């Protein structure tokens, strides 16, 4: 199975949200990273057929979405960032309703609903109304409905946003279990979530892919550019203005800095192994800072 994105472009007036994106995706987990406004959600909506590309094509095993028609959508599972639940439905009612929308027969819908509610740890509260659920429970229900038709392509847009650390770990484990023999595209700006489960990183900026790289080599481009050093507080304040400081930790009246810089900021700086978070901040540090200041 191969999902091909060919010269994919989405234009809104003068704004280009997605700009000539090309990728060949095979089964595995793809972490789609980028700052807010990078074009991630627009790209995912085009893959799901919610938006029509301005130009370019999306193909599954060589055939376009248009050629495949319903055969494409029956292989697709989608969890949007803001999923619309019916608050007065119970989880079981909602799953059966979504199964009917997806065209599952009644027996298969019932069996699949019970299996998935068990899998996402909602079986004990399946008859409680969704409006009584926590954010994490709603997110788990969201991924359960996306899995109803056992899709070959699973699209998850910011599935861990707003979850506490315990729920995020639980959700990551769920995604890993569901990911076998599927193409899973997981969009997030929470870098740690994809660093644990992604096989490949797709990094997006201003509508285009900056890189498409396997997890084992994704940080190679910044190797030798990440430094740690221990300085006094006055120097720490100066370095925070002059350099890209990705972490700052106070230690016994001193400050340990983690800095991304092309060369050592001073002689006693130690080169350290780069992380995915370092890579993200290398490309998006200034954008993230501007968003936080707004």
Sorted by where each begins, the domain ranges of the chain are 3-214, 220-293
Neighbours of 276 (CB within 10 A): 20
CA–CA dist 74, 97 (Å, integer)? 16
Residues counted in the chain: 294
Rounded CA Rg of the chain: 22
Model confidence over 66-81: pLDDT tens digits? 999 999 999 999 998 7
CA–CA dist 123, 111 (Å, integer)? 13
CA–CA dist 129, 23 (Å, integer)? 41
Q: Give the CATH architecture of domain 3-214.
A: 3-Layer(aba) Sandwich (3.40)
pLDDT by residue for the chain (294 residues), tens only, comes to 999 999 999 999 989 999 999 999 999 999 999 888 889 999 999 999 999 999 999 999 999 999 999 999 999 999 987 777 888 999 999 999 999 988 899 999 999 999 999 988 899 999 999 999 988 888 889 989 999 999 999 999 888 777 788 878 888 888 888 788 899 999 987 788 888 889 999 999 999 999 999 999 999 999 999 999 999 999 999 999 999 998 999 998 999 999 999 999 999 999 999 999 999 988 887 654 444 444
Model confidence over 140-192: pLDDT tens digits? 899 899 999 999 999 998 887 777 888 788 888 888 887 888 999 999 877 88
């Amino acid at each position: 199975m191969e999902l091909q994105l060919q010269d994919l472009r989405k234009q809104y007036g003068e704004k280009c949200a997605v700009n000539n994106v090309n990728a060949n995706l095979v089964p595995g987990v793809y972490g789609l990273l980028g700052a807010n406004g990078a074009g991630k959600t627009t790209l995912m909506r085009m893959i799901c057929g919610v938006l029509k590309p301005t130009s370019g094509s999306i193909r599954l095993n060589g055939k376009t979405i248009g050629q495949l028609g319903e055969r494409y959508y029956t292989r697709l599972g989608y969890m949007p960032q803001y999923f619309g639940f019916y608050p007065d439905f119970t989880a079981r009612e909602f799953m059966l309703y979504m199964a009917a929308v997806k065209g599952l027969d009644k027996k298969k819908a019932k069996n699949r609903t019970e299996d998935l509610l068990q899998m996402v740890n909602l079986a004990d509260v399946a008859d409680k109304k969704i409006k009584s659920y926590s954010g994490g429970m709603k997110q788990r229900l969201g991924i359960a409905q996306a899995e109803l038709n056992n899709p070959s392509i699973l699209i998850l847009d910011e599935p861990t946003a707003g979850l506490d650390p315990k729920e995020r770990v639980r959700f990551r484990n769920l995604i890993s279990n569901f990911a076998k023999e599927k193409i899973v595209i997981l969009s997030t700006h929470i870098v740690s979530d994809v660093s644990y489960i992604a096989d490949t990183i797709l990094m997006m900026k201003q509508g285009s892919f900056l890189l498409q790289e396997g997890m084992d080599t994704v940080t190679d481009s910044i190797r030798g550019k990440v430094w740690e050093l221990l300085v006094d507080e006055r120097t720490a304040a100066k370095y925070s203005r002059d350099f890209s400081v990705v972490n700052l930790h106070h230690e016994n009246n001193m400050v340990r800095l983690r800095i991304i810089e092309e060369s050592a900021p001073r002689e006693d700086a130690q080169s350290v192994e780069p992380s995915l978070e370092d890579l993200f901040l290398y490309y998006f540090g200034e954008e993230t800072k501007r968003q936080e200041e707004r």
